[in-house]
Amino acid sequence: MSDTSPPLRILIAKPGLDGHDRGAKVIARALRDAGFEVIYTGIRQTPEMIAEAALQEDVDAIGLSILSGAHMTLFPRILDELRERGLDDVVVWAGGIIPESDVPKLREMGIRAVFGPGSPTTETIEFLRNLDKNKAAATR
Amino acid sequence: MTASLPRDASAADLAARLVAGDRLALSRMISAVEAGRPEARHQLRGLFARTGRAHLVGITGPPGSGKSTLTTRLAIEYRRRNQTVGIVAVDPTSPYSGGAILGDRVRMMELHGDRDVFVRSMATRGVMGGLARSTLDVVLLLDAFGKDVVIVETVGVGQDEVEIARAADTSVVVGVPNLGDDIQAIKAGILEIADVLVVNKADLAGADRLVADLRAMLQLGTSPREAWAPPIVQTVATDGSGVAELVDRLAEHRAHLERSGEWHARRADSARRQVRAIVEDRVLRRLERVTTGDAWQARFEAIADRDQDPYSVAEDVLKEVADHD
């Protein structure tokens, strides 16, 4: 009850203007069921709002769900806002509708993983569990 | 803007930067304290002297009563009055997976642009009896950071939540019309701790009836706090009506506490419970460690074989727990 490390805290955010958050809610629920603490912020978040939430909630990772096609403009701004707050070490990954051809560029700018439509939630869980192991190793 | 803050920064560094107004340090310190890290908990001793100024407001009520929306509106009203605000929103951990969905921020979107409002979501993490303690530790950090008002929002069910409400300077209990018959409010057992009652969603039919029921019940009650008659404030949190009046009532309650000397008496009472909670928490952790380790296994087996008795072994465990650190 005391000496085990606390669950990873994950922010699930929907940047931009599309209002469809079914995918975000499905992943939020799957992550809760996998034992993570999920902070869900709702739709239509600006990069600044996402970075603020990440700072106040001290999250370990941020999942960005995007369907609008604006990822190439919004993601760099989110990463900038995070850096500006000293949150360079927060892991950022993405899900939603993102063309395969954009993935290398996103990875280069610092998006650690991209899960497209049809990815099973277990892939995301696996990805986060690996982070958890690294974190546990770092704090020992 | 923010100087980098390494993940392995010491708790003493975090505490120093928190006091200097570094929000990231505040956030990291909350995590460390919530996780029960001993170095972080040790820093609470030094920080405590800087606290005691903030007005601690507890908001509790059934799921769906509009607590998060009301909390958001309260924060906006306090900001209008130039008060800085900290918010702790507590949501339950799933007893099945140990995970949680903390969704109160969805209703708090309007607050994100204001750096003088700090919102932190907390999961209950299933620590028996420990919720009130860790919530109060987080409140202490927000107080030490310099917040004028700290609002703690909890679902009003269960002993832990009642404990949190009792630790508040001012406890707000939120009800909504049509939740059930009028006996529900008594059953919840939280009416007694209300300093201010809110009937939210007051634009719904049935609000007047709830106000009348609550008023009748308050008159029936044998509240020892005769000097303060808990007011009933009607609000519609979604459009903000009634919220300015609520903030006025909260301020009046604080003024009443200070005038009557109850402010000090309540805080002393709350200190008694807090000290007990800290001791209980530490004793339970040590007990857990002592009794799950291998060291005592032989003794437990000896009890099973009737070579020893559980009463004498318990006596020895008690000594070990008291000495152990």
Tell me, what DSSP letter sits at residue B111? G
For chain A, the domains span: 9-139
pLDDT for residue B280: 85
User: How far is the first Cα of chain B from the last one, in angstroms, to the nearest whole number?
Assistant: 41
Q: What pLDDT sits at residue B1?
A: 47
**Residue A45: DSSP 8-state:** B
Work out the pLDDT band at B315, boundaries 50, 70, 90: very high
Smallest CA–CA distance, residue A39 to chain B, in Å, is 5
The whole-number average pLDDT for the span B72-94 is 93
Closest alpha carbon within chain A to B117: A56
* pLDDT tier at B158, thresholds 50, 70, 90: low
Could you report the per-residue pLDDT of A76-108, keeping only the tens digit for each?
999 999 999 999 999 999 998 999 999 999 999
B197 CA to centre of own chain: 18
- Tell me what pLDDT residue B183 has: 54
- Cβ-contact B185, B212 below 8 angstroms: no
| Bridge partners for A61 per DSSP | A10, A91
| Residues 6 or more apart in contact with residue B240 via CB below 8 angstroms | B73, B76, B77
Question: In the structure, what pLDDT confidence band is assigned to residue B325 with cuts at 50, 70 and 90?
Answer: low
Per-residue confidence (pLDDT) for residue B188, from 0 to 100: 55
Q: How does residue A140 score in pLDDT terms, banded at 50, 70 and 90?
A: very low
| Count of beta carbons in the 10 Å neighbourhood of residue B18 | 25
A125 touching B, CB under 8 A? Answer: no
> Is CATH 3.40.50.300 what the domain over B51-260 is classified as, yes or no?
yes
**Residue B117, C-beta contacts closer than 8 angstroms, at least 6 positions apart:** B75, B79, B84, B85, B86, B87, B111
Mean pLDDT score, B148-163 = 80
Among B1, B99, B285, select the one facing A36 at the smallest CB separation.
B99
Band of the pLDDT at A16, cuts 50, 70, 90? confident
Nearest to B102 among A33, A39, A84 (CB): A39
Nearest by Cα to A44 from A69, A66, A77: A66
Cβ of A48: how many Cβ atoms within 10 Å? 16
Q: How far apart are CA B191 and CA B214, in angstroms?
A: 9
Give the 3-state secondary structure of residue A36.
coil
pLDDT, greater one: B25 or A139: B25
- The rounded mean pLDDT for chain A is 89
**3-state SS record for B238-291:** CCCECHHHHHHHHHHHHHHHHHHCHHHHHHHHHHHHHHHHHHHHHHHHHHHHHH
Please check whether residue B88 is in contact with residue B142, taking contact to mean a CB–CB distance below 8 angstroms.
yes
- Confidence band (pLDDT; 50, 70, 90) for A2? very low
Q: List the structure tokens of B202.
A: 């007051």
How far apart (Å, rounded) are the C-alpha atoms in residues A36 and A29? 10
Task: Please say whether the beta carbons of A79 and A108 come within 8 A.
Answer: no
More confident residue, B157 or B48: B48
Yes or no, beta carbons of A33 and B96 under 8 Å apart: yes
End-to-end CA distance of chain A: 17
What is the value of pTM for the model shown?
A: 0.89
Residue reference for tokens 């850096």 = A83
Q: Which CATH superfamily is domain A9-139 in?
A: Cobalamin-binding domain (3.40.50.280)
pLDDT at position A3 is: 45
Pairs of CB atoms within 8 A across A/B = 108
Looking at the complex, does the CB of residue A134 fall below 8 Å from at least one CB of chain B?
A: no
| Distance (Å) from the alpha carbon of B305 to chain A's nearest alpha carbon | 29
Highest mean pLDDT among A38-42, B61-65, B77-81, B201-205: B77-81
- Cα–Cα nearest to B74, from B63, B89, B87: B87
Q: Taking the domains of chain B in order of start, what are their residue ranges?
A: 1-49, 51-260, 275-323
Chain B nearest-CA residue for A28: B101
Q: Which amino acid is at A57?
A: E
Give the chain A residue nearest B36 (alpha carbons): A2
